[in-house]
Amino acid sequence: MRLVIARCQVDYAGRLTAHLPMATRLLLIKADGSVSIHSDDRAYKPLNWMSPPCWLIEDGDIWTVQNKAGEKLVISIEERLEELKHELGAEPGLVKDGVEAHLQELLAEHITTLGEGYSLIRREYMTAIGPVDILCRDADGGTVAVEIKRRGEIDGVEQLTRYLELLNRDPLLAPVQGVYAAQLIKPQARTLAEDRGIRCLTLDYDKLRGTESDEFRLF
């Protein structure tokens, strides 16, 4: 990881053009080759960036970042204020707060939340591309795959779609229907899921735990 605080201007040329006038900014150069330019606002979002695969050519105070498509990010440095290099080492990955795992456990215990007559086959049903959160049967004996998220977004729908494609190749399980279950499902994710014949289910975490939510209550 390389961090450079510098007064610079930035010009991007590619599918469109963009210009950042001279100002003090943070230049972030990562080991994966990516280069991003940050200001002291906008939280984590950069002002401009180039994602890998790309390469950086430093010619004095003119830095040119280019990718395979020929897009260029030209950084003109007027003054370097600070520079730091540090090896961060292997990334252990994000440790979630356990809510998704607990939701899976609770839904498996209260499988009829999905509908009357549902029965559990197993949790973490392993496939060649990863485990399905819950595999169960509906009241008619049909197989149902359930993907559980705390926050339901499009990537979760895509994940469940891949599981369904694989599971439906197994004659012992097919036809397999899908349920996308989350505490909150984004409208775009719901639209995509329903378009693919996947049922969406909003989970009430407190209700599944057997407690009543006191949200928005005074007493």
Encode pLDDT of 57-88 as tens digits: 999 999 999 999 899 999 999 999 999 999 88
* Contacts by 167-171, CB closer than 8 A, 24 or more apart: 167/127, 167/132, 167/143
Q: Is the peptide bond before 46 cis (omega within 30 degrees of 0)?
A: no
100-132, pLDDT tens digit by residue?
888 899 999 999 999 999 999 999 999 988 899
**Is the pLDDT at 182 greater than 60, yes or no?**
yes
As a whole number of angstroms, the distance between CA 105 and CA 207 comes to 14
pLDDT of residue 98: 54
Domains of the chain: 2-85 (2.70.180.20), 99-209 (3.40.1350.10)
Higher-confidence position of 198 and 206: 198
As a whole number of angstroms, the distance between CA 157 and CA 148 comes to 10
User: Once rounded to an integer, what is the mean pLDDT over residues 89-105?
Assistant: 71
pLDDT of residue 141: 95
Find the Cα–Cα–Cα–Cα dihedral 138, 109, 96, 164, rounded to 10°.
-10
**Is the pLDDT at 165 greater than 90, yes or no?**
yes
Determine the length of the chain.
219
CB-based burial, 85-101: b 16+ in 10 Å, e otherwise = eeeeeeeeeeeeeeebe
pLDDT of residue 93: 61
Q: pTM for this one? A: 0.54
Residue 166: pLDDT band (50, 70, 90) is very high
The pair of three-digit structure tokens given for residue 146, joined into one six-digit string? 């359930």
pLDDT of residue 41: 87
- The percentage of residues in the chain with a pLDDT greater than 90, rounded to a whole number, is 73
The pair of three-digit structure tokens given for residue 205, joined into one six-digit string? 């975490």
Residue type present at position 10: V
As a whole number of angstroms, the distance between CA 30 and CA 48 comes to 14
User: Once rounded to an integer, what is the mean pLDDT over residues 19-31?
Assistant: 96
Strand order in the sheet with 35-38: 48-50, 35-38, 17-29, 2-13, 72-85, 62-67, 54-59
pLDDT of residue 180: 97
The pair of three-digit structure tokens given for residue 59, joined into one six-digit string? 């010619």
